Chains A and B, each alone.
Chain A
Amino acid sequence: MVDKMLIKDKEIVVPGDKIASGMGFLPGRGTFRKNSDILAEKLGILNVDGNVMKIVSLSGVYLPKVNDRVIAKVIDVLMSGWRFDLNSAYSAVLSMKEATSEFIQKGADLTKYFQINDIVVCKITNVTSQKLIDVTMSGPGLRKLRGGRLIKVNTNKVPRIIGKEGSMVSMIKNATGCNIIVGQNGLVWIDGEPDKEVITVKAVKMVESEAHTAGLTDKVAAFLEKETGVKTAKVNKK
């Protein structure tokens, strides 16, 4: 049997689409093998990497991955740690050891460190096959968030909001003077002056809704310049 691609690279596929046939191809993220064919598992854009077929999804909920920096909410205080809501179907656990470098006495009140409804930035350290998730608070920039506000965005657009090496998010930061933290799980934390926050939210939503279009950076730069009156110095791209 001859190996054959049935759908071109960068095209949109829907679940069940036959992408390629032949054992020469390998199924990657979002695809699976049926007999000798490779089929699409979800809606998205096909990405051909050598002989591996991958799908970059256009929508959907957040699935936790190791090393993702996420914004989480404390939903429970446990015997020896805290349970976090990750804006996902699965919750994570922060153990005492990963929470602080301080020594915590046996039977100490854990709410001294994190209380229910606190918002934190943390990093995922482990995801089991059963989707039990461990997170850590030790690392640069990982901390409890005070004040500010949270907005939800499509998790699949997060890379676009951050931009190449953080170019998009730093452009918005520079123009509005707001502090912005983008979690991989689709939560964005914004802290700044009230009027500037409104502009920031609009800019982030604009990136989210127009993520697929070309020349987005220029569009956002023009929008920010119009709204803030500050000429946005282009962030140098390497």
Chain B
Amino acid sequence: MNNSLKQHLIKSLQKNIRYDGRKIDEFRDIKIETGVSHGAEGSARVKIGETEVLAGVKMAIEKPYPDTPEKGNLMVNAELLALSSPEFEPGPPGAKAIEIARVVDRGIRESKAIDFEKLCIEKGEKVWSVMIDVCTINDAGNLLDAAALAAITAIKNTKFPAVKDDVVDYKNKTAKGLPLSRWPITVTVYKIGDCFIVDPLSEEEDAYDARLIAAIADDNNVCAMQKGGVEPLSIEEIGKMLDIIQKIAPKLRKKL
């Protein structure tokens, strides 16, 4: 986006009007469906406006990592499918896909959403692995928040598969869900000019100066944070952005 288009966008944001008519701190409509995939142990489809993301959870019995012999494993992978935006190409994941996967992973890990010790079957030998795959179906802005919301909804929807003689029977699910204790909500605030916005459109994502992603735990405290974008942020600005995030997060939590 060139500078004159960006200045026009900022002028509109200063009047508290987004390009689709929303206010600057307003989310688009969020729709959540669960259990959309029969092959996965848990799945969810999240739509934020026209943005659409799918998340699926697979469970497997694996050897634990040597440094955490009593804990289950968590793996998050994100794929930006080429069908979701003209900008995305097929092939190995790029910086944007890796960032989404890492932010989602960190939000779940640092909020201690899953009680990993309860995923241990035999110390040092056998633990449950939780693998979350996030696929984008359509990118109309704000893939990050949509991906995080889809991932947390999918693990909430997850049921352990049946196990017979140490072999996982993926055809049959048990009624037992994952040992979950907290629900992290990830919200990103974008800074464009001197305006702070949430839930950006694609145009706004093209024009942002800086952004702050924060995962918020149940008690509305921040449990993970990441800064992005080329411009620096001052301490006051980060404070302001976190205030916005803490105001938005409870609203998103209600959608879970």
Contact = CB atoms under 8 A, between A and B. Distances in A.
Contacts of A197: 12, 19
B37 interface: no
Interface string A196-216: 011001100000000000000
Interface stretch (A36-44, A49-57, A142-150): A142-150
Nearest to B22: A198
A111 interface: no
A119 interface: yes
Given A149-B203, A194-B11, A119 B5 contact: yes
Nearest to B2: A117
B1 interface: yes
Interface string A176-204: 00000000000000010011011001100
A100 interface: no
Interface string B150-183: 0000000000000000000000000000000000
A202 B1 CA distance: 22
Interface residues of B, number: 15
A137 to B, nearest CB: 17
B5 A147 contact: yes
Interface residues of A, number: 16
Contacts of B2: 115, 117-119
B203 A194 contact: no
Contacts of A149: 5, 8-9, 19, 203
Contacts of B7: 147
B135 to A, nearest CB: 24
- Describe A's contact surface by its main secondary structure: mixed
A194 B12 contact: yes
B5 A150 contact: yes
A118 B7 CA distance: 13
B15 interface: yes
A30 to B, nearest CB: 25
Contact of A147 (B8, B17, B19, B203): B8
Among B5, B9, B20, the most chain A Cβ lie within 10 Å of the Cβ of B5
Contacts of B21: 195, 198, 202
Contacts of B17: 194-195, 198
B234 interface: no
A146 B12 contact: no
Interface in B17-56: 17, 19-21
B69 to A, nearest CB: 54
Contacts of A194: 11-12, 15, 17
A218 to B, nearest CB: 24
A201 B8 contact: no
Contacts of B12: 194, 197
Nearest to A146: B4
Interface of A: 115, 117-119, 146-150, 191, 194-195, 197-198, 201-202
18 contacts: A118-B2, A119-B5, A147-B4, A147-B7, A148-B8, A149-B9, A149-B19, A149-B203, A194-B11, A194-B12, A195-B15, A195-B17, A197-B19, A198-B17, A198-B19, A198-B20, A201-B19, A202-B21
Interface of B: 1-2, 4-5, 7-9, 11-12, 15, 17, 19-21, 203
Given A118-B2, A119-B5, A194-B15, 13 more contacts: A117-B1, A146-B4, A147-B4, A147-B7, A147-B8, A149-B5, A149-B8, A150-B5, A197-B12, A197-B19, A198-B17, A201-B19, A202-B21
